[in-house]
Structure 1
Amino acid sequence: MKPARLLWLALLPPLAACNRSASQVAAPITRTPAATVSATDAAKPFRPPPESAIPDDDFGKQVALGRQIFMEPGRYAKAYVGNSLSCENCHLDAGRLAHSAPLWGAYPMYPAYRSKNHHVNTFAERLQGCFRYSMNGNAPPLGDPVLVALESYAYWMSKGEPVGAAPPGHGYLKLPKPRLAPDYARGETIFKRDCALCHGGNGQGQQVAGHTVFPPLWGPQSFNWGAGMEQINNAAGFIKANMPLGQGNTLTDQDAWDVAYFMDAHERPQDPRFNGSISTTRAAYHDTSDSLYGSTVNGHVLGQGTTWP
């Protein structure tokens, strides 16, 4: 994230397009990276087929539609989207990039038991959760054409991988716990230095002609309190491996933890599982040191939610 072009979250249009945008607003980074990638993660990741390999048949049409939905859910799945984010904001390069929760790293791992909802989830159910939490919207019903197309895209991208074996580069980078506890003030300094130019001093991102070029990191148009990125360890791993865009592993581990803490220490839409009490909702769904839901930061109890004025 130099100068100021961080985060994430996750959250951006096609990787090539984002790299062009980033190059227009920031100079090349020369900071020496701190190596913390495990031996497993350092192994060569799976290489999914290029977009040009999508077959020209009826199945290929579903794959292509799934890619369109993935890139522009607000256009192709509008009924189920509640914010300005796209799937690619957390799963970079159209869901292809290692260490940004690529689709080819997720599809072969389902069905799987998830502690988040305490039952075995199909891949389609996992996609439902993305709409409900990361997109702050509504889950498409099972069998809906949106889910069918997205699952077709993920299946096509994953062909050739072993089933049930987590490939190198799947998910987000797992960072060791930092030497110092993540800190809001240090994170704010990093954000101003490396992130604010693209994501705005208020973290609300930038739009061009109604299209989100750099995504909001908190506030009413960001992911809600039920999304995985609200957990500091997930955000730190994503940031470390991928930010600044196209130049991952240039922040130190400590910087990644600190700026992830700063990002997640801001209010965002309410967890849809909210049961009327922040404390009991935390106990039920956020009882981990990696979640700030229900914590008091700068005198504010997080988890109250936010909506458009």
Structure 2
Amino acid sequence: MKLLNVVRVLTVLIIAVALYAVGLIGSYILGASDWLKNYTASSATADTTAVVPYDTNFHALWTQPADWRLAKLAPEQRLKIDYGRELIAHTAEYLGPKGKVKANSNGMNCQNCHLNAGTQPWGNNYFAVQANYPKFRERSGTVENQIKRVNDCFERSLNGKALDSTSREMQAILAYIKWIGGDVPKKYTPRGSGIYKLKLMKRAADPDKGRVVYEQKCQSCHQANGEGVMAEGGRTYTYPPLWGERSYNNGAGLFRLSNLAGYVKYNMPFGATYERPQLSDEESWDVAAFVNSMPRPSKDLSKDWPNIAGKPFDHPFGPYADPFSEQQHKYGPFKPIKEWKEKHKKKS
């Protein structure tokens, strides 16, 4: 009799526990269902425009070889590369108006345009040079080697004279460029090479608006008259001149507005990088227009662009194969020019 009572009690307890468990599961299912309904409803009304797409142009960029790898090279080669780096970083110390080697340039340094001695991502770096030269360039209408390319910089950006191809300085610069780009596969251009190409504006770039940006963001370093700040000793510049007789001439790559705007956007003013830009796209275009509207040295460009149809959309000097004016080629809007060139390129 006692055993029967125990069995009855246990049976009741088991049934009670089972019913309680069923109730918990049912509540969980109902709660999950309500949550799913609410989540679905909120997702349907969510502002999907707030989602920022992943931009691969600014992630996993190519970088220079680690310095420790230099230790694996022969001492003579290592010294040559080190001298090449020094020449890029402090060009005027050796080849400026008061240079230790010779007076050969305007007092600017190569790294004023090729940041961090040509290693800054989107800072007009040298990453792709070794892999892509020799190559045909429309500007000269010839296949150019690296010697020609380096001397173009000396004659245009540094407004100076070409280096002897056999000189110690030229050979050191070539060794350094080879070191920087030695890991890049042939004919490949790594992400982050050169200068970032900004999206074109619908309007023309405005030098007057750019003047305001310059006064607010750039003048403290480059000065009101664009002359820059000379370093102690008078050999080189702490902040380079952006116009005037000591700046780059009208044949330099940065005299093309798209190049200067992209360079400014992700490198200027001081402290800006591709990770932390300080100017909007429009501010970058406008300040570039202001800087390139100011007086600077001239170079004989009569032998440039033998095929005028090969001139880029923002080459500021005619004649052109298209119907657009010099003014529009210099300041834009550039989209109509690019569309015209593309259309007629396909037809030809």
Pairwise TM-score range, normalised by the shorter structure: 0.7 to 0.9
- Alpha-carbon distance between aligned partners in 2 of 1:70 and 1:186, rounded to the nearest angstrom: 33
Aligned match of 1:251 = 279
DSSP 3-state at the match of 2:128: helix
CA 1:65–1:217: 2 relative to 1, 3 Å: same
Aligned match of 1:225 = 250
Structure 2 unaligned blocks of 5 or more: 1-51, 319-325, 329-348
DSSP 3-state at the match of 2:279: coil
Aligned match of 2:57 = 41
Q: How many residues align?
A: 258
Q: Which moved more, 1:282-291 or 1:170-179?
A: 282-291
DSSP 3-state at the match of 2:136: strand
CA 1:89–1:115: 2 relative to 1, 3 Å: same
CA 1:282–1:156: 2 relative to 1, 3 Å: closer
DSSP 3-state at the match of 1:113: strand
Cα deviation, residue 281, structure 1 = 9.8
| Letter paired with 2:108 | L
Encode CA deviations 1:119-177: one digit per residue, 9 max, x unaligned.
11111211111111111111113222221100101111222221211100111010111
CA 1:198–1:63: 2 relative to 1, 3 Å: same
Is residue 132 of structure 1 aligned with residue 150 of structure 2? Answer: no
Encode CA deviations 1:213-260: one digit per residue, 9 max, x unaligned.
111001100011110000110000000011123323221110000000
- Alpha-carbon distance between aligned partners in 2 of 1:122 and 1:46, rounded to the nearest angstrom: 23
DSSP 3-state at the match of 2:196: coil
Aligned match of 2:142 = 119
Aligned match of 2:70 = 54
TM-score (norm 2): 0.68
Pairs within 5 Å for 1:1-309: 39=55, 41-51=57-67, 53-55=69-71, 57-77=75-95, 78=99, 79=102, 81-209=104-232, 210=234, 211-248=236-273, 249-273=277-301, 290-293=314-317
Encode CA deviations 1:48-69: one digit per residue, 9 max, x unaligned.
1244543360000100110111
- Alpha-carbon distance between aligned partners in 1 of 2:307 and 2:226, rounded to the nearest angstrom: 28
CA 1:89–1:73: 2 relative to 1, 3 Å: same
- Aligned 8 A contact 1:82 1:136 in 2: yes
Cα deviation, residue 72, structure 1 = 1.7
Q: Which has the higher helix share?
A: 2
Cα deviation, residue 103, structure 1 = 1.4
- Aligned 8 A contact 1:89 1:215 in 2: yes
- Alpha-carbon distance between aligned partners in 1 of 2:145 and 2:53, rounded to the nearest angstrom: 30
| Letter paired with 1:67 | R
Aligned match of 1:303 = none
How well do the aligned residues superpose, as a CA RMSD in angstroms? 2.8
Cα deviation, residue 203, structure 1 = 0.8
DSSP 3-state at the match of 1:116: coil
Q: Which moved more, 1:216-225 or 1:47-56?
A: 47-56
Cα deviation, residue 283, structure 1 = 10
| Letter paired with 1:213 | T
Greater Rg over alpha carbons, structure: 2
CA 1:192–1:94: 2 relative to 1, 3 Å: same
TM-score (norm 1): 0.76
